[in-house]
Structure 1
Amino acid sequence: MGLARLAALHGVATSYAPSPDVTVQVPDDTVVAVLAALGVDASTPAAVTDALTRAEATAAERLLPPTVVLWSAPEGERPEVPAALAGLPPGTTLQVEPEDGGTPLPADPATDPAAVVTGAPLGVHRLTARAPDGRTATVTLVVAPHQVPQPPPRTHGFLVQLYSLLSERSWGMGDLGDLAELAAWSGRHLGAGFVQINPLHAAVPGDPTDPSPYRPSSRRFPDPVHLRIEAVPEYAYVRGADREQLDALGEKAAALRASVLGEDALIDRDAVWALKLPALEILAAVPLGPGRRAEYADFLAAQEQALEDHATWYALAEAHGPQWHDWPAGLRDPRSPETARARRDLSDRVDFHRRLAWLTDRQLAAASGAARDAGMAVGIVHDLAVGVHPGGADAWAQQDAFAAGMSVGAPPDAFNALGQDWGLPPWRPDVLAASGYAPYRGLLKGLLRNAGALRIDHVMGLFRLWWVPQGEQPTQGTYVRYDAEAMLAVLALEAHRAGAPVVGEDLGTVEPGVREALERRGVLGTSVLWFERDWEGPGQPPLPPETWREDCVATATTHDLPSTAARLTGEHVELRHRLGLLTRPLAQEQAEDRAEVGEWLTYLERLGLLPGGPGDEEEEIRAVYRFLLRTPARMVGVWLPDAVGDRRPQNLPGTWDQYPNWRLPVADATGRPTTLEELAASPRLHRLMDVLRP
């Protein structure tokens, strides 16, 4: 009982329910290991008793939690007073120090606790409480809008993995110039309201580099591999031998692009970077003009220590390799004298990596501007990965905020009996709260800087995450809870400041109450056609379109699922069979798949969305998107490869080197890679998009 009580005080689950009628007990060893990662010794019964005594005494003495959330109320309504303030002793006085350094605001909860809300503006402030018994507490006060910004009642747009979208100008993979072109074209000529892309987070350099955009070095800063070299203003001023070298690199890039667009070719991120890196070094040597230098200085001032740490990690990685755990001992600490000395010694490379972050930020801003100028109602929807690589820049710079020896994953479920280990160190909820969620706030601020909207991968992680102790199987993990109110409040505040709607990827196992909490704060969900069924009805038939939720992005597929053409033809089953991923006989899998697809096609025909009946693949795909338009969904997402009949998934979960995950260019129905220019001229694409025109 002592261990369970101690775990509960720290948000660590000792059991979980994979289904309503099943409860699984978490091994004690797991609970002990997770508590240790939170700085709590539970290794012996005596240690548990001591830790429990201290934790309960701290809780009893504590006047306020480290972070207090106050939600503003809709116009005309009274703000709801949080329990943390309503439960203060009578006579306790409060004082708010605004984040802008303005005049402190007093309030007395004994007379009007809501005065703290009405008196303090939206923002992250310091709140001091003084109780009559002499106790005081100074904590972080987050005053948040009651909801995140909302998209228009109905808009449609493309979902695309940017690296997969090559043009006749990109250097072997899709870049930010291509993104701007896609936004401008689809917004002006197709009436698209948004383009949702994969995470553009900075990658961990390697040989080879991990191509997954969901296991980055840093989520705070974008990857300069996405830069359009010719769009850097200094490109025009390169002369002499440097110009010759730059032109030669451009010729090699053209050859690389041609090879990727050939038969069975794959995107090679490392080959692209091997060309872009020397090109960017040439451009970085060009002196900045006075206006550009002033702009760069403003960027450095705005990013502060976070950018300094980021650039320092990349400079050190060039000298010592990309795994900071293997660096000389002094360099493993970002605040050590050895690191400060190395930063001075490597000042040129540190500034180079700062410069790359700025150049990428500017091209992201240009893409966002192109979307806005094209009349897009939402714009570019950026993606936030659930975590970072344990050896990368964020894990090095923010070591105290990450739980050492832990990895994020997922428990066993109906789709994966062994569970999942994603290899991502989780944030410590206690450190986040004590810091006023500073790392999280900085991350969101950076991502939203050039975003029309934000998608959050595995949005359930704002509530709880599955922690797996290092060296253990995913089945030996447990859930650790986060302060969802604080996480949502910070999200709502930063989204409000950016004017950006938020989309949560809430697919899979979702804890009861999570979708309701997200809906209350205006966070849109994600609804995929094949998963939307009446799970309570006999036979679990397709969910009628009018009963879908309104607050969502409705789509036919995602980067982790088969394309619509592959689903309709059954090719996704054959692919998994070839790779040895099926757990049942091929014939059985195919029969079940044909039955499911047949049920959907029959339903589409009955609704009048497939008037010619099944048999024409292209018309079936259009019928799927006609169905999505019948739903009340605020946003309808078109998987861009669907527009040209691409058969291949961008990522096949459960594979590593058996399948070219994250390396496939968009291709047509025959598997031939298709450029952005060809997409824009594709009759098949235009026939599909005609379905979505108002």
Structure 2
Amino acid sequence: MPADTVAPGPELRRLAAAHGIATEFTDYTGEARQVSAATVRAVLAALGVPADTDEEVAAGLEAVELAPWQDVLPPCVVARAGRERSVRVHVPDGATVEVAVQLAGGGRRDLEHRPDDTPPRYVDGVRTGRASVALPPDLPVGWHELVATVDGAEAARAPLAVAPDKLADPPVATGRGWGFMAQLYSVRSDHSWGIGDLADLTELAGHFGDLGADFLLINPLHAAEPTAPMTPSPYLPVTRRFVNPIYIRPEEIREAAYLTGPQRALVDWAGEEVRATNRANTPIDRDAVWSAKREALGVVYDAPRSRSRRRALERFRAEEGQGLEDFALWCALQEKYAGAGFPDELRNVRSPYVARERRELADRIDFYVWLQWVADEQLAAAQREARTAGMGLGVMHDLAVGVHPGGADTWTAPEVFAHGIGVGAPPDMYNQQGQNWSQPPWRPDALARSAYEPLRQMVRTAVRHAGAIRIDHVMGLFRLWWIPDGMGADEGTYVSYDHEAMVGVVLLEAARAGATVIGEDLGTVEPWVREYLAERGVLGTSVLWFEKDAEDRPLPPGSYRRGVLATVNTHDLPPVAGYLAEEHVDIRRRLGLLTHPVEEVREQARRERERMIARLREEGVLPEDPTERELVEALHVYLVRTPAVLVGVSLTDAVGERRAQNQPGTDTEYPNWKLPLADGAEQVVMVEDLPDSPRLTSLVRAVRGAFGPDDRLPG
């Protein structure tokens, strides 16, 4: 047996289990798969646990057993409101210990001790005992602090997050709602700068709200590189906490209205070339767009700001704190070194050389801080318009599963990430070679030590101006597929996270903002995970093409889950028109991504289409000899007949687009994340075109009519 396929021995299995590393898993066919010892050792090494020899494995087992005893309090505690929980405390044997909760809003609660019969043990030469204290069920939701006093002296503090036991149902008027889904960058107006932006988002939200939609789900707006080349994928950002300023509309900034004539001319000239591409059905050129916008934004940035505007910027800066300062510094350094990589002495944000750069680049740091403030203001305007137009939720932001390995997050907080690892997915029906998304995962142990600060700040930013968030690959809160560098996507393994803590932090931040949470739970997901998320008030995701019964036939409407966002497709598949035409087969054939004969895959696609049409006829939602438009509408009416609390309508389906926005498993072979919105004839569809689109209006009428009589149907 080759060395790289040897199974781990029993002690290595124990060490892997202690660190949440799977040594076997069930694949998408239901077959049990063994993880190689080489993969297990590589993942342990990424967690700082050497395991190449039997001696190292034995030492690792001893260290992981001793670790909890070395701290007075756990690094962070996440509890549920309304439920009791014990917290273990470790102190010298015989010492007197008292633990209290310092409440966020002021006040203090002393905690009661509970019996703990665990025998004392020696820790670093000190005989150490274990005690337990009970967290009362009536602690308020919020971030608090545990304080431990040993023999009358304060010995330790630890963050305490009290999360809601369950989020409230989405605030839609009749208990169920629908909305649109759009790739914002692809939806341009005559005033865009070659890419859909936050002013376009405001227009879309107002228009769709007028049509009766409750939400508008858009692609992640996370920040990308501030220098060329800018990564096209919104799912490979440099950070998930901050926004890509490419989405700013320069003319919408208040100070732009007070520019002098020459200054205004500079802004106009900067945008001339990219605005000329708005109606061209050619790949979106983010580098050209950002070059033009950065030039124009520099002009507006230099314009004077009133006292109240300066105060607003200062408040934003203070609220965002050191995280914003470090991100802005990273941007300024990227600009200085033209994206070519930092010198060795700048590879650590805490280096004294970095401190010098921080002083020298102060003005550029101020510029990048200002960009985040401006983007935040325009995001707030979009959400206000959405709610004013009657949306129950408004803007729904999407959260990517990870970040770029060379991005801002890995530079500002390298200790939180596992290095030498990429996140991805094992082989499945649609990606039979597996996927490597080239994103370094968070270390579970480092997250706990940081009190889940990266997760907390990411969610807090996302829900600040949104009514809901969709978490891409929500299984990442439970486990992630780790792929050691140099190995194939099919040679990875699952690493578990503290899902109770991770989900708790997400729910706490969402509840504070009054936001709904949707988890993308497609693919290989254990039933208990979906049950757990449902119990916590997190909606799941149902995609019509993936919902099948035991005989591989489309699931009847009544068999869908209620607590889901139900959609016909995803951004990784062609729109309905393209899917029905087998575009998903043709693309993979052209790009060499099929692992089965094309005839077999094509026959499977045809059988899937025929079974779906048969199911639509059974439901009585499809006329004889239907047109493409009628097929699209029938599929959406079918979804409305499910009990799903939210139904999503892709804007691409509403205008007749046939092309997929993304083809998994490709990079430059396909124009991923670059296609402008177009109709079936490949004519670009603009924001201004949507109110008069017969196809969109017809689909909206079909969807709203399926929900029941409504006197607000568009004419």
Query: Normalising by the residue count of structure 1, what TM-score does the alignment of the two structures yield?
Result: 0.93
The match for 2:707 is none
Give, in whole Å, the separation in 2 of the partners of 1:196 and 1:534: 28
Residue 225 in 1 paired to residue 246 in 2?
Answer: yes
Of 464, 467, 476, 2:491 maps to 476
Shift of 1:6: 1.8
Task: Give percent identity, aligned residues only.
Answer: 48
Matched to 1:216, the amino acid is P
Q: Which runs of 5 or more residues in structure 1 are unaligned?
A: 74-78
- Distance in 1 between the 2:137 and 2:61 partners? 38
Distance 1:528 1:5 in 2: 38
Counterpart position of 2:459: 444
Task: Determine helix, strand or coil for the equivalent of 2:136.
Answer: helix
Deviation at 1:139, TM superposition (A): 2.9
2:167 is paired with a residue of what secondary structure? coil
The answer to whether 1:291 aligns with 2:308 is yes
Q: Is the 8 A contact 2:663 2:670 kept in 1?
A: yes
**Shift in Å, 1:93:** 4.4
Q: 1:12 to 1:230 in 2, by over 3 A?
A: same
Aligned position for 2:561: 549
Aligned CA distance change for structure 1 residues 581 and 45 (closer, same or farther; 3 Å): closer
Partner of 1:503: 518
- What is the distance in 2 between the residues matched to 1:496 and 1:224? 27
Q: Please give the secondary structure, in 2, of the residue aligned with 1:542.
A: coil
Structure 2 counterpart of 1:146: 165
Change (3 A) 1:429 1:133: farther
- SS of the aligned residue for 2:372 comes to helix
Letter in 2 for 1:661: N
Cα offset for 1:436?
1.2
- Determine if contact 1:167/1:677 at 8 Å carries over to the other structure: yes
The 8 Å contact of residues 105 and 119 in structure 1, kept in 2 or not, is answered as: no
- Contact 1:168–1:675, Cα closer than 8 Å, also in 2: yes
- Could you say which residue in structure 2 is the equivalent of 1:690? 701
| 1:274 corresponds to | 291
Aligned residue type for 2:664: P
**In the alignment, is residue 397 of structure 1 matched against residue 412 of structure 2?**
yes
Question: Conserved in 1, the CA contact under 8 Å of 2:475 and 2:525?
Answer: yes
- Preserved CA contact (<8 Å) 1:92 1:108: no
Q: Deviations over 1:126-184 (max 9, x none)?
A: 22456999997643321111112321321111000000101111111100001000000
Which is worse superposed, 570-579 or 594-603? 570-579
User: In the aligned structure 1, how far is the partner of 2:311 from the partner of 2:155?
Assistant: 44
* In structure 2, C-alpha distance between the alignment counterparts of 1:175 and 1:435, rounded to whole Å: 34
Tell me the SS of whatever aligns to 1:493. Answer: helix
1:578 to 582, 585, 590: 590
Distance (Å, rounded) in 2 between the aligned partners of 1:16 and 1:64: 34
Does the residue aligned with 1:636 lie in a helix, a strand or coil?
strand
Give the distance between the partners of 1:18 and 1:135, measured in 2 at CA.
Answer: 50
Whether contact under 8 Å (1:70, 1:141) holds in the other structure is yes
Contact 1:160–1:195 under 8 Å retained in 2: yes
SS of the residue aligned with 2:51? coil
Secondary structure at 1:382's aligned position in 2? strand
Deviation per CA, 1:389-414: give whole Å up to 9, x if none.
01111111111111111111112334
Name the structure 2 match of 1:306. Answer: 323
Mean alpha-carbon deviation: is it higher for 567-576 or for 346-355?
A: 567-576
Q: Deviations over 1:438-485 (max 9, x none)?
A: 121111111111111000000000001111112222223221111000
Q: Distance in 1 between matches of 2:72 and 2:350?
A: 32
Structure 2 counterpart of 1:595: 607
How far has the Cα of 1:639 moved from its partner?
0.4
Structure 2 counterpart of 1:210: 231
Please name the residue that 1:43 is paired with: 52
1:274 alignment partner, SS class: helix
Q: 2:648 aligned with 1:637, yes or no?
A: yes
Q: Secondary structure at the residue paired with 2:442?
A: coil
Deviation at 1:20, TM superposition (A): 7.9
Report the secondary structure of 2:481's partner residue: strand
Hey, what's the Cα distance between the residues in 2 that align with 1:344 and 1:497?
36
Distance 1:340 1:44, change over 3 A: same
1:572-630 Cα shifts (integer Å, max 9, x gaps) = 333333333334444443332222111111211121111x2243111111111110110
The CA distance in 2 between the partners of 1:591 and 1:19, in whole Å, is 21
Q: Would the alpha carbon gap of residues 407 and 431 (structure 1) be closer, same or farther in structure 2, given more than 3 Å must change?
A: same
Q: How has the CA–CA distance of structure 1 residues 129 and 18 changed in structure 2, closer, same or farther, with 3 Å as cutoff?
A: farther
Structure 1 position 242 matched with structure 2 position 263:
yes
Q: State the distance in 2 between where 1:474 and 1:568 align.
A: 29
Q: Contact 2:81–2:140 at 8 Å: present in 1 too? A: no
Query: What's the counterpart of residue 108 of structure 1?
Result: 112
Alignment of 1:73-112 (within 5 A): 73=82, 79=83, 81-82=84-85, 84=87, 93-100=98-105, 102-110=106-114
- Specify the alignment match of 2:627 in structure 1: 616
Out of 649, 673, 691, the residue aligned to residue 662 of structure 1 is 673
Distance 1:417 1:625 in 2: 29
Aligned equivalents of 2:371, 2:650: Cα separation in 1: 30
Contact 2:283 2:675 in 1 (8 A): yes
Output the CA distance in 1 between the equivalents of 2:71 and 2:414: 26
- The structure 2 residue matched to 1:124, chosen from 135, 138, 143, is 143
- What residue ranges of structure 2 are gaps of 5+ in the alignment? 1-9, 116-131, 705-709, 711-715
Runs of 4+ in 1 over 4 A off after TM superposition: 60-64, 83-93, 129-137
Task: Give the letter aligned to residue 521 of structure 1.
Answer: R
1:673 Cα deviation after fit: 1.0
Cα distance in 2, alignment partners of residues 211 and 142 from structure 1: 36
- Structure 1 residues 450 and 591 mapped into 2: Cα distance closer, same or farther (>3 Å)? same
* 1:343 partner letter: R
Per-residue deviation at 1:426? Answer: 0.5
The alignment partner of 2:194 has SS state of coil
| Alignment partners' CA distance in 1, 2:498 and 2:596 | 41
Q: Distance in 2 between matches of 1:562 and 1:534?
A: 23
Question: 2 CA distance for matches of 1:554 and 1:215?
Answer: 25
| Match of residue 357 from structure 1 | 372
Partner AA of 2:241 in structure 1:
R
Tell me if the contact between 2:71 and 2:90 (Cα under 8 Å) persists in the aligned partners: no
Q: Which residue of 1 aligns with 2:684?
A: 673
Match of 2:122 in 1: none
* Whole-Å separation in 2 of the counterparts to 1:595 and 1:57: 57
Displacement of 1:509: 1.0
For 1:377, which of 387, 392, 396 is the aligned residue? 392
Secondary structure at the aligned position of 1:291 is classed as helix
CA-CA distance at 1:62 after TM superposition: 5.8
Q: Distance in 2 between matches of 1:445 and 1:214?
A: 18
Query: Equivalents in 1 of 2:597, 2:56: separation in Å?
Result: 52
SS in 1 for 2:681: coil
Distance, in Å, in 2 between the alignment partners of 1:674 and 1:667 is 5
1:70 maps to 79
Q: How many Å separate the matches in 2 of 1:314 and 1:593? A: 46
**Matches of 1:293 and 1:125 in 2, distance apart?**
32
Q: TM-score with structure 2 length normalisation?
A: 0.90
- Contact 1:622/1:691 (<8 A) preserved: yes
Distance, in Å, in 2 between the alignment partners of 1:72 and 1:519 is 17
Q: Which residue of 1 aligns with 2:118?
A: none
CA contact (8 A) 1:85 1:109 kept: no
CA contact (8 A) 1:158 1:195 kept: yes
Q: 1:61 Cα deviation (Å)? A: 6.0
CA distance in 1, matches of 2:686, 2:252: 19
